[in-house]
């Protein structure tokens, strides 16, 4: 298979590139390195063809897509806080950029586009665990952008016959996640602070729940979604299928690191949801997706990565 990974120099994208190369697939990466890192691609050498460019440029997107069979659309501006600060750029990259990907995929007769959506589209709508038929209630511009992009994916299947599959990721963590960004996820922030024996910050009381999902599960779901039959136009939750509080996460990371530091609690952040958790029954039935990595093993892999970095 010849595949394009947009955002292939990013956290999830580079892990996906790894898995594709391990299967001996041909891989093209499109990235503008606004959040992705060049060093993540260095180990791939000439095995990956890099197209440097922005999702907002149809010409660059079209150049990257030409000749590929499947597009794994991971590229995005991925932060809720950043989207609140700058909704215009989030809209342009995540919605207009996705439209460019879909148009180029249609024009090049790509077999399937697998789109990286987000659990944030559910917002604080009632009903846990989240099922794909629940009414979305996004709270932040980032979540709105992902829901709009999902709608474009569904429309391109219905109107143009372009096969699309949307995967709603739940709080992904693992090796290569960036802990230095002001928009970094909670897991790398906890790990790096505790490795330095410094107190991490918890926003709110720490009892907010999340379905923390190891990146290996997300990669596996993407590969399954690229080939599953009868799933075009559909959206699927991709998660571990079990919620934990942020306080539980902190205690688990602290035990693995082996320190006695206590967290610092600050006011909740705007746009953050209180509770999140996934029902993965639809992905299990239609994609054959079954979580294989335990939460603790995933945390150990992440801690090991950051300890070596």
Q: What is the pLDDT of residue 77?
A: 95
How does DSSP classify residue 272? -
Q: What is the mean pLDDT of residues 217-224?
A: 98
Examine the pLDDT at 273 and tell me if it is beyond 90. no
Q: Which of 189, 155, 159 has the alpha carbon at shortest distance from 171?
A: 189
Domain hosting 77: range is 2-173+214-241+278-293
Per the structure, the count of domains in the chain is 1
Residue 150 sits in a domain whose CATH number is: 3.40.50.720
Of 161-165, 185-189, 230-234, the range with the lowest mean pLDDT is 185-189
Residue 96 lies in a domain: yes
Is 294 or 184 the better-scoring residue by pLDDT? 294
Residue 203 lies in a domain: no
Separation of alpha carbons 265 and 165, rounded Å:
39
Q: What is the mean pLDDT of residues 263-287?
A: 94
Residue 138 lies in a domain: yes
Q: What is the mean pLDDT of residues 108-116?
A: 98
Residue 283 lies in a domain: yes
Residue 305 lies in a domain: no
For the full predicted model, state whether its pTM sits above 0.85: yes
Identify the band that residue 28 occupies on the pLDDT scale cut at 50, 70 and 90: very high
Contacts of 178 (CB under 8 A, 6+ apart): 11, 35, 37, 184, 188
Tokens of 290: 């079954």
CA angle 114, 118, 123 (to 5 degrees): 150
Examine the pLDDT at 183 and tell me if it is beyond 70. no
Examine the pLDDT at 214 and tell me if it is beyond 80. yes
**Of the listed 58, 122, 142, 152, which one is catalytic?**
142
Q: What is the pLDDT of residue 21?
A: 98
Does residue 142 have an active-site annotation? yes
Q: What is the pLDDT of residue 109?
A: 98
Residue 300 lies in a domain: no
Examine the pLDDT at 210 and tell me if it is beyond 90. yes
Q: Which of 127, 113, 23, 119 has the alpha carbon at shortest distance from 65?
A: 113
Tokens of 13: 């994208």
Q: What is the mean pLDDT of residues 125-132?
A: 93
Examine the pLDDT at 305 and tell me if it is beyond 80. yes
Residue 272 lies in a domain: no
Residue 287 lies in a domain: yes
Q: What is the pLDDT of residue 64?
A: 98
């Amino acid at each position: 298979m010849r595949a394009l990974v947009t955002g292939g120099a990013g956290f999830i994208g580079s892990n996906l590139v790894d898995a594709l190369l391990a299967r001996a697939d041909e891989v093209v990466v499109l990235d503008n390195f606004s959040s992705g890192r060049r060093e993540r691609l260095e180990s791939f050498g000439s095995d990956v063809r890099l197209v440097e460019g922005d999702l907002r440029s149809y010409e660059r997107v079209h150049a990257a897509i030409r000749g590929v069979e499947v597009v794994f659309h991971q590229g995005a501006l991925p932060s809720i806080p950043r989207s609140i600060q700058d909704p215009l750029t989030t809209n342009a990259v995540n919605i207009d950029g996705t439209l460019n990907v879909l148009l180029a995929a249609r024009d090049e007769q790509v077999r399937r586009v697998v789109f990286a959506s987000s659990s944030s589209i559910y917002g604080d709508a009632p009903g846990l665990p989240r099922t794909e038929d629940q009414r979305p209630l996004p709270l932040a511009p980032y979540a709105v952008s992902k829901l709009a992009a999902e709608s474009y994916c569904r429309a391109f299947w219905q109107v143009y016959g372009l096969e699309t599959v949307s995967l709603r990721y739940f709080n992904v963590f693992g090796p290569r996640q960036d802990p230095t960004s002001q928009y970094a996820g909670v897991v790398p922030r906890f790990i790096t602070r505790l490795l330095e024996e410094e107190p991490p910050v918890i926003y709110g009381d720490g009892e907010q729940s999340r379905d923390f999902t190891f990146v290996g599960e997300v990669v596996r779901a993407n590969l399954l979604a690229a080939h599953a039959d009868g799933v075009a136009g559909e959206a699927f939750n991709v998660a571990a299928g079990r919620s934990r509080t942020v306080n539980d996460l902190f205690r688990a990371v602290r035990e693995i690191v082996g320190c006695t530091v206590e967290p610092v609690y600050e006011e909740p952040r705007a746009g953050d949801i209180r509770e999140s958790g996934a029902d993965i029954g639809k992905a299990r039935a239609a994609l054959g997706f079954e979580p294989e990595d335990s939460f603790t093993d995933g945390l150990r892999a992440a801690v090991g990565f950051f300890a070596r970095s």
